[in-house]
């Protein structure tokens, strides 16, 4: 595409140099620049893209987009100066990938917990009914047999448009998107016309970034506020968890029609007769489309909420309640979310991504209800993240688990001992007597396995599906499942 054509939609720009050049791609990382690419300088939290202009030009950049005039080693390379390169990038991505050409419906899911499971439930239901859907979220991008891992739950705006174009090119009817608070606040969904927005819940998390729960709520709310304000907005839908107090505030900030789901408060999609056992959950779903018994092959009250959200979305998209119920029985869960590890051991072992207070409470309460022996929790607190939740999570684990083993969980640039000490500060004297501190995560899992007997349950929290593990300052590709297999001696 010609650069003049590409930048035409930018209403405030200053062109320095001859801009009548051909552009073969758009990049924000100077290391990824190839001959003919346009380099967009972004101001990040750590690095400033303007400092890498010379590197981009050496790699073949055909032009530069910046928010100020920069010194460049080649006067023949044009630069376009704009007020805000983040917003300009969204306009360029939209113009380059033209996702508006496709009929793909975008469904965005936001909330502290439950986004990934709800998304996968919806995709499973769509797949069972012949509706073609791609997904973008914590577990990466997938469309048909194409898979890419993603650095963030909600990828940057350029990657987002590229993924949506790939879904559209493959005639995807739906794109299911996990919309994180970071992604929403940083504008990673700019230019994405959301068809339906889903809210799961809002609890303590990410306050290292948002600083207050109010700012955190406002970030989540952006997904619903951006559904539009014209007549077309009335065709859009907002699916809200009525049991979360934030839901009504969100409802006030969207012009879309609202469908509520929940268990305790007034909702159009709700559940009664809930029965939860070790390996299944049953309930009666009540909806404006009728009533239906539902059976999930997973445990936990939180999965009832995830299922209600998925049911609401699928009903709005025309699926029948009976076929939704039948298909949900075949949903086997998500990697790293209440994932059972069965290597022939005597005790039950579960891996879960719980990395915030609400998520940790949910998984521990669920396992506590169906464990006749000891509930043993192996947990740590992530480095370079929200420090306020560390003692809170330590206290929760000590209250709900019979035995607690505190360990490391990717400390990053922080001292692992200091992180564990902060987590330990939430425990009282009696709780500390039931707590063991083992900094090395493999050794902590080994101790839990050696401690457990027939009716006990071990839950290892914090990492879930993740494979990057920092041990003693070095990065290893090792999952918690790998740690369990090593502890059991079944990794050979």
210-219, 246-255, 329-338, 382-391: segment of lowest average pLDDT: 210-219
Q: Is the pLDDT of residue 457 over 70?
A: yes
d(CA 19, CA 5): 10
3-state secondary structure of 107: strand
CA torsion sign for 390, 411, 400, 220 is positive
pLDDT at 414: 76
Question: Closest Cα to residue 53, out of 67, 71, 37?
Answer: 71
| β pairing state of 37-40 and 25-27 | parallel
- Tens digits of per-residue pLDDT, 313-346? 999 999 999 999 999 999 988 888 888 888 888 8
Q: Using H for helix, E for strand and C for coil, what is the string for 298-322?
A: CCCHHHHHHHHHHHHHHHHCCCCHH
- Average pLDDT over every residue of 103-127: 92
d(CA 82, CA 16): 11
- Tens digits of per-residue pLDDT, 403-437? 999 988 877 777 888 888 888 888 888 888 888 89
Question: Closest Cα to residue 313, out of 245, 235, 224, 238?
Answer: 238
Q: pLDDT category, 489, cuts 50, 70, 90?
A: confident
Q: Is the pLDDT of residue 232 over 70?
A: no
Q: Is the pLDDT of residue 75 over 90?
A: no
210-219, 252-261, 446-455: segment of lowest average pLDDT: 210-219
Which distant-in-sequence residues (6+ apart) come within 8 Å of 336 by Cβ?
Answer: 351, 352, 353, 463, 464, 465, 466
Query: Is the separation of the CB atoms in 457 and 348 below 8 Å?
Result: yes
Q: Is the pLDDT of residue 197 over 60?
A: yes
pLDDT at 384: 66
Query: Is the separation of the CB atoms in 256 and 227 below 8 Å?
Result: yes
- Average pLDDT over every residue of 144-161: 89
Q: Is the pLDDT of residue 229 over 60?
A: no
- Average pLDDT over every residue of 34-44: 93
pLDDT at 213: 67
CA 71 to chain centre: 39
Q: Other C-beta atoms within 10 Å of 31: how many?
A: 9
Domains in the chain (CATH in brackets) are 3-97 (3.40.1390.10), 99-328 (3.40.1190.10), 339-488 (3.90.190.20)
């Amino acid at each position: 595409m010609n650069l003049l054509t590409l930048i035409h939609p930018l209403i405030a720009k200053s062109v320095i140099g001859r801009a009548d050049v051909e552009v073969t791609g758009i990049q924000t990382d100077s290391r990824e620049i190839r001959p003919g690419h346009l380099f967009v300088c972004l101001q990040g939290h750590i690095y400033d893209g303007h400092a890498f202009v010379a590197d981009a030009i050496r790699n073949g950049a055909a032009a530069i987009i910046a928010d100020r005039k920069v010194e460049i080693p080649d006067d023949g390379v044009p630069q376009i100066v704009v007020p805000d390169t983040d917003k300009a990038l969204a306009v360029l991505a939209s113009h380059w990938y033209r996702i508006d050409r496709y009929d793909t419906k975008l469904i965005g899911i936001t909330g502290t917990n439950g986004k990934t499971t709800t998304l996968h439930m919806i995709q499973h239901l769509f797949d069972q009914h012949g509706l073609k859907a791609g997904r973008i979220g914590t577990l990466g991008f997938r469309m048909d047999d194409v898979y890419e891992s993603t650095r963030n739950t909600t990828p940057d705006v350029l990657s987002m448009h590229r993924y949506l174009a790939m879904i559209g090119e493959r005639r995807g009817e739906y794109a299911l998107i996990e919309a994180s608070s970071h992604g929403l606040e940083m504008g990673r969904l700019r230019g994405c016309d959301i068809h339906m927005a889903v809210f799961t819940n809002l609890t303590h998390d990410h306050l290292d970034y948002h600083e207050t729960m109010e700012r955190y709520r406002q970030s989540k709310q952006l997904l619903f506020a951006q559904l539009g304000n014209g007549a077309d907005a009335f065709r859009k839908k907002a699916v809200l968890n009525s049991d979360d107090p934030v839901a009504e505030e969100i409802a006030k900030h969207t012009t879309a029609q609202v469908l509520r789901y929940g268990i305790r408060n007034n909702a159009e999609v709700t559940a009664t007769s809930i029965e939860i056992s070790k390996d299944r959950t049953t309930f009666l779903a009540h909806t404006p489309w009728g009533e239906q018994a539902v059976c999930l092959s997973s445990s936990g009250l939180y999965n009832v909420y995830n299922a209600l959200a998925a049911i609401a979305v699928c009903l709005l998209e025309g699926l029948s309640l009976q076929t939704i119920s039948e298909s949900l029985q075949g949903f086997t869960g998500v990697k790293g979310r209440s994932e059972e590890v069965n290597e022939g051991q005597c005790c039950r072992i579960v891996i879960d991504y719980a990395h915030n207070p609400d998520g940790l409470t949910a998984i521990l309460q669920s396992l506590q209800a169906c464990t006749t022996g000891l509930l043993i929790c192996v947990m740590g607190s992530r480095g370079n993240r929200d420090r306020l939740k560390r003692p809170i999570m330590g206290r929760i684990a000590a209250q709900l688990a019979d035995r607690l083993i505190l360990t490391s969980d990717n400390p990053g640039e922080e001292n692992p001992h200091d992180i564990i000490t902060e987590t330990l500060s939430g425990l009282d004297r009696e709780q500390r007597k039931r707590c063991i501190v083992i900094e090395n995560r493999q050794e902590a899992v080994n101790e839990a396995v050696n401690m457990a007997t027939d009716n006990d349950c071990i839950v290892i929290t914090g990492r879930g599906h993740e494979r990057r593990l920092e041990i003693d300052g070095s990065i290893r590709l090792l999952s918690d499942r790998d740690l369990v297999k090593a502890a059991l001696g079944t990794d050979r």
